[in-house]
Amino acid sequence: MKTTCLFKAITLALLLLTTSVTQAAADKMLRISTDNTDLILHVVSNSRIYQTYFGERLTDPSALSYGSNHREAYQGAGYDDYFEPALGIIHNDGTRCTILTYVSHEQKVIPGGTETIVHLKDEVYPVEVILHYQAYTKENVIKTWSEIVHHEKKPVTLFQFASAMLYFDSNRYFLTQYNGDWGTEGLTNTQELFFGKKIIDSKLGSRSAMYVSPYFELGIGTPVSENEGEMLLGTLGWTGNFRFTFEVDNEGVLRLVPGINPFTSDYELRPGEVFTTPDFIFTRSAQGEGQASRQIHRWARRWQVMDGEGDRFTLLNNWENTYFSFNEPILSNCMHEAKKLGVDLFLLDDGWFGNKHPRNNDHAGLGDWQAMQSKLPHGVPGLVDSARAAGVKFGIWIEPEMVNPKSELYEQHPEWVIQLPNRKTYYYRNQLVLDLCNPQVQDFVFSVPDHLLRENPDIQFFKWDCNSMITNAYSPYLKEKQGNLYIDFTRGLYSVLRRLHDAHPQTHMMLCSGGGGRCDYEALKYFTEFWPSDNTDPVERIYMQWAYSHCFPAKVLCAHVTNWNSQTSVKFRVDVASMCKLGFDISLKRMSEQDQLFCREAIYNFNRLKPLILDGDQYRLVSPLQTDHMAVMYVGNPSPTPTANQDREPSAVVFAYNLSPRYGEAIQPVRLQGLNPLSRYLVREINLMPNQQSRLSCHDKVYSGDHLMKVGLPILSTRRFTSTVLQLTTID
> Buried b vs exposed e over 392-423: b needs ≥16 C-beta within 10 Å?
bbbbbbbbbbbbbbbbbbbeebeebbbbeeee
What are the DSSP calls for 533-556, one per residue? -S---HHHHHHHHHHHTTTS-GGG
If the CB atoms of residues 319 and 619 are measured against ligand DGJ, the closer one turns out to be: 319
Q: Give min distance, CB of 322 to ligand DGJ, in A.
A: 11
Cα distances from 535 to residues 152, 191, 584, in angstroms, run 51, 26, 13
The SS3 call for residue 666 is coil
In sign, the C-alpha dihedral spanning 249, 254, 255, 260 is positive
Q: Give min distance, CB of 397 to ligand DGJ, in A.
A: 6
If the CB atoms of residues 222 and 563 are measured against ligand DGJ, the closer one turns out to be: 563
What does the binding site for ligand DGJ look like in residue numbers (CB under 6 A)? 319, 349-350, 397, 465, 467, 512, 514-515, 531, 534
Q: Which of 545, 540, 574 is nearest to 557 (CA)?
A: 545
Q: What are phi and psi of 245, to 5 degrees?
A: -105, 130
Cα distances from 602 to residues 84, 201, 474, 727, in angstroms, run 52, 40, 50, 13
If the CB atoms of residues 261 and 318 are measured against ligand DGJ, the closer one turns out to be: 318
If the CB atoms of residues 448 and 726 are measured against ligand DGJ, the closer one turns out to be: 448
Q: Give min distance, CB of 464 to ligand DGJ, in A.
A: 10
If the CB atoms of residues 512 and 579 are measured against ligand DGJ, the closer one turns out to be: 512
If the CB atoms of residues 66 and 394 are measured against ligand DGJ, the closer one turns out to be: 394
Q: Which of 152, 18, 3 is nearest to 90 (CA)?
A: 152
What are the DSSP calls for 394-421, one per residue? EEEEE-TTEE-SBSHHHHH-GGGB---S
If the CB atoms of residues 98 and 471 are measured against ligand DGJ, the closer one turns out to be: 471
If the CB atoms of residues 173 and 584 are measured against ligand DGJ, the closer one turns out to be: 584
Q: Give min distance, CB of 349 to ligand DGJ, in A.
A: 5
If the CB atoms of residues 467 and 528 are measured against ligand DGJ, the closer one turns out to be: 467
Inter-residue contact 711 to 671 (CB < 8 Å) = yes
User: What letter does residue 503 receive in the DSSP assignment?
Assistant: H
Inter-residue contact 731 to 638 (CB < 8 Å) = no
| Residue 703 C-beta-side C-alpha neighbours within 13 Å | 22
Q: State how far Cα 461 lies from the chain centre.
A: 20
Inter-residue contact 347 to 318 (CB < 8 Å) = yes
If the CB atoms of residues 279 and 585 are measured against ligand DGJ, the closer one turns out to be: 585
If the CB atoms of residues 226 and 534 are measured against ligand DGJ, the closer one turns out to be: 534
Q: Cα(352)–Cα(332) distance, rounded to whole angstroms?
A: 14
If the CB atoms of residues 344 and 534 are measured against ligand DGJ, the closer one turns out to be: 534
For 708, counting Cβ atoms within 10 Å of its Cβ (0-12 exposed, 13-18 middle, 19+ buried), the class is buried
Region label for 288, one of left (φ > 0), alpha (ψ between -120 and 50) or beta (otherwise):
left
Contacts of 674 (CB under 8 A, 6+ apart): 617, 619, 633, 635, 652
Q: Give min distance, CB of 512 to ligand DGJ, in A.
A: 5
Contacts of 170 (CB under 8 A, 6+ apart): 220, 221, 230, 252, 254
Q: Give min distance, CB of 239 to ligand DGJ, in A.
A: 16
Q: Which residue is nearest to ligand DGJ (CB)?
A: 350
If the CB atoms of residues 83 and 324 are measured against ligand DGJ, the closer one turns out to be: 324
Inter-residue contact 714 to 672 (CB < 8 Å) = no
Q: What are phi and psi of 23, to 5 degrees?
A: -65, -45
Beta strands per DSSP E along 277-335: 279-285, 315-317
